[in-house]
Structure 1
């Protein structure tokens, strides 16, 4: 679910930078940092992020710079004529003739012409918002592509973990087939303790204890469920799309079966396999957190 995209743009007297990034998250959380006055663009960004993304913490940032427009200048000829006339009077009184740059520096000689934007201003605003919208949409598309590329890589990693889980499951099945011998020895030891009890236990109670011990040691159901979960996980990876939450749920099921397998184990080797299984499932779960 991680990704990053950034681009610069310009339109008329405005320039901007759009930056989008995402990190892991259980659900989709979109946060925007936009300048004031761009509510329509921000609303589009949120809606577009929800359309192309399904999971993760997403941050969309937009910085906008507006370049001050250079207004045209105008010469105030009437005022200039008055200043020149005053300069001549001063020169007639024996003063030095003023330079032209000194005349032009008199306030009001050079004026700035204020333009009335009117409908043009509204049109320029609409054009700017459209350009910003396109830029945001493009960056969200690049972010989604970056996440998709990461997902393809993670799919291969997850398939490898599933292969290891499958191998350990079959190893547990082979070891469990040898478990009756260990179980028989354990049962004999426990029966010997029960027979030595004072007062002695009735035969019915001994039969119940033996049956309970055998039932607790049977791990065939756990192994069958592990195989079913492995097949379902492979199917989800092949399906593609937003499967992260369903894979996350499967991880919980994997863990439940592995824990039960270890608790039922009457053999050191089967316990070791169960612990390896739990370690691999945890690695699988950690990678699933990166999947949308």
Structure 2
């Protein structure tokens, strides 16, 4: 199925003690190029996010913004360094005796001294975090992909229409080419008759020159290849796999190559105009392909 690389998806989930928001924006890029913004606390989940994206997206720059907020209180443990507290207490008593002052030391006074206690948060279960994040991410991805599919179908219809137009113009080139050779033969006959001022001319020589011109200006091979490329382009758009963009881009390059060869052989205004029309449509198709996955 044809998909554009442009799209947007957003999802918000509140469950299992988490409030999560995922936003995805897709734009053109030659390769798969994810850019993830996530809290430093959850950086270890970044590889899982990339793997999930790869399952749904083949090409394009994807900007992912992930917000994770815990809605439940953190479980915390208080750790007390009893040895340090006792050392503080002994040192303060010794200092009080030395200064001959009262050693009225309260527990809260020790508690306030540096490093006597520390607040430790219980390690978070990232597997549980990922379970919620994966669900939120998939919902956002589904919306992004849906938008990319709809845009891709619009692009496909436009390119198929242009491809049909190119086929019509190539068939006109095919019909016009032998006529140009015949016209050249008549012009040659008229020119020679005019120059030598005689009613009879060497018909064999005229036919020979006309044959040389027809061979030099023949576009039969180019027409055959163009038709083949046009058919393949049509088939890929209608029944293509995940590499549609790259395959079609290659075919468009080949069609440009063939039509440029036709342009170099064309010795006719009408054929030159047809070539211009074909190249204009190919250029429009190439622009559209820049946004195909």
Q: Secondary structure at the match of 2:30?
A: coil
Change (3 A) 1:160 1:2: same
What displacement does 1:9 show? 2.3
Which residue of the partner structure matches residue 35 of structure 1?
39
What displacement does 1:126 show? 3.8
Which residue of the partner structure matches residue 134 of structure 1?
135
Change (3 A) 1:64 1:222: same
Residue 150 of structure 1 pairs with residue 154 of structure 2 = no
Q: Secondary structure at the match of 1:6?
A: strand
Change (3 A) 1:59 1:116: closer
Q: How many residues align?
A: 236
5, 21, 24: which one pairs with 2:25? Answer: 21
Q: Secondary structure at the match of 1:10?
A: strand
8 Å contact from structure 2 (residues 181, 210) kept in 1: no
Q: Per chain length, whose mean CA-contact separation is higher, i.e. which structure has more relative contact order (CA < 8 Å, sep 6+)?
A: 2
8 Å contact from structure 1 (residues 11, 128) kept in 2: no
What displacement does 1:210 show? 7.1
Which residue of the partner structure matches residue 8 of structure 1?
12
Which residue of the partner structure matches residue 105 of structure 2?
none
Per mean C-alpha deviation after superposition, the further-off stretch among 12-21 and 127-136 is 12-21
Which residue of the partner structure matches residue 269 of structure 1?
270
The alignment's C-alpha RMSD in Å is 3.1
Change (3 A) 1:152 1:227: same
CA distance in 1, matches of 2:220, 2:52: 48
Change (3 A) 1:191 1:50: farther
Change (3 A) 1:117 1:170: same
Q: Secondary structure at the match of 1:160?
A: helix
What displacement does 1:189 show? 9.4
Q: Secondary structure at the match of 2:143?
A: helix
Q: Show structure 1 runs of 4+ deviating over 3 A.
A: 11-14, 65-71, 114-118, 185-192, 206-214
CA distance in 2, matches of 1:144, 1:44: 19
Which residue of the partner structure matches residue 87 of structure 2?
none
Change (3 A) 1:209 1:38: farther
CA distance in 2, matches of 1:266, 1:282: 23
8 Å contact from structure 2 (residues 185, 210) kept in 1: no
What TM-score comes out, normalization by structure 2 length? 0.71
Which residue of the partner structure matches residue 180 of structure 1?
181
Q: Which runs of 5+ in 1 are unaligned?
A: 72-106, 108-113, 196-205
